[in-house]
Amino acid sequence: MPKKIITMSTNQCYWTSVNDDVKSHIEQALLGRQPAACVLKPLRDLAFAAPKSAASVLCVAACEMVGGHREQAIAAASAIHLMHSAAFTHENLLVSDKPITKSMPNVHHYHAFDSNIELLTADNLFLLGYELLAELDDPTDALSERILKVIVEISTAMGSQGMVEGQYIQQLSCMGSDGDEKCKVSYIFACGAVCGAILGGGTNEEIEKLRRYGFYVGMMNGMMTMHGVGLLEEKTLLQMVESFRNLALKELENFQDRNIDTIRSLTDGFHPNE
């Protein structure tokens, strides 16, 4: 038991340090652009208003596990954070005049700014995320191809084949679907794992294994969110989570010669946002 407590404490420190680095990277990017005060405040506030997602942490952990360094992945992790925040802001706007249902556990009706400001600011957060990635590009650097792949991955995960699709389905079925939240979450988690592996120099096989790992962890995370609002009975939840946990761990079997403790901890039932 003491060993478990120490491990969880260590993981908390890791998650906190990555989130702090992401926040610092984003704040420096905002200050470097020197937008007008009326633009900067909503940008900064909405960039950090969404419920935290472990997808950014997964991005960094995947990069380090395949042999990369945190510095290589922090811009991508920051971009993923911004995309998540933008998507949350857009989703929150969609339910402003609707009752919140069980299939929308993470949204709320409170708005710090007028809806037009929040809409434009969320769009700006998307653009800022892509800017952070583009700034890494150097035609003379071997990383150029990796960065392009990351941009494609994030665009797909956040677009009509990913997060937007999940939000659209949720709006169509807002009166009762129980599958939308976990599917939306799985897109961004899989994206985080893939982007980290790409930037860390992982092989194609490693990248695809981590894609599946991220997907399964995202499904687990989404299920925990659903359980928090009573969408799943505890027995059913535990069975489903354990099933996806086993699938996730299977994807890590070929990484036994690497330090997998950090990335593996995302399946341990300890929620990094708590």
Closest CA to 54 of 258, 248, 237, 255: 248
Contact (CB, 8 A) for 262 and 11 = yes
pLDDT at res. 67: 94
d(CA 148, CA 146): 5
pLDDT at res. 51: 86
pLDDT tens for 195-249 read 999 999 999 999 999 999 999 999 888 777 665 545 556 777 788 888 999 999 9
Higher per-residue confidence, 254 vs 111: 254
Q: What is the 3-state secondary structure (H, E, C) of the chain?
A: CHHHHHHHHHHHHHHHHHHHHHHHHHHHHHHHHCCCHHHHHHHHHHHCCCCCCCHHHHHHHHHHHCCCCHHHHHHHHHHHHHHHHHHHHHHHHHCCCCCCCCCCCCCCCCCCCCHHHHHHHHHHHHHHHHHHHHCCCCCCCCCHHHHHHHHHHHHHHHCCCCHHHHHHHHHHCCCCCCCHHHHHHHHHHHHHHHHHHHHCCCCHHHHHHHHHHHHHHHHHHHHHHHHHCCCCCHHHHHHHHHHHHHHHHHHCHHHCCCCCHHHHHHHCCCCCCC
Higher per-residue confidence, 226 vs 126: 126
Residue 159's φ and ψ, nearest 5 degrees, are -95, -150
Binned at pLDDT 50, 70 and 90, residue 164 comes out as low
Q: CA 255, 259, 262 angle in degrees (round to 5)?
A: 110
Higher per-residue confidence, 40 vs 76: 76
Over residues 154-167, the mean pLDDT reads 72
131: pLDDT strictly greater than 90: yes
99: pLDDT strictly greater than 70: no
d(CA 202, CA 225): 31
Fold of 2-267: Farnesyl Diphosphate Synthase (1.10.600)
pLDDT at res. 97: 52
Over residues 97-117, the mean pLDDT reads 61
Contact (CB, 8 A) for 46 and 84 = no
pLDDT at res. 35: 78
Residue 167's φ and ψ, nearest 5 degrees, are -65, -40
Binned at pLDDT 50, 70 and 90, residue 37 comes out as confident
Binned at pLDDT 50, 70 and 90, residue 273 comes out as very low
Over residues 105-112, the mean pLDDT reads 57
Binned at pLDDT 50, 70 and 90, residue 93 comes out as confident
**Residue 2, CA atoms < 13 Å, CB-side half-sphere:** 0
pLDDT at res. 137: 72
pLDDT at res. 231: 54
109: pLDDT strictly greater than 70: no
**Mean pLDDT, the chain, integer:** 81
Binned at pLDDT 50, 70 and 90, residue 100 comes out as very low
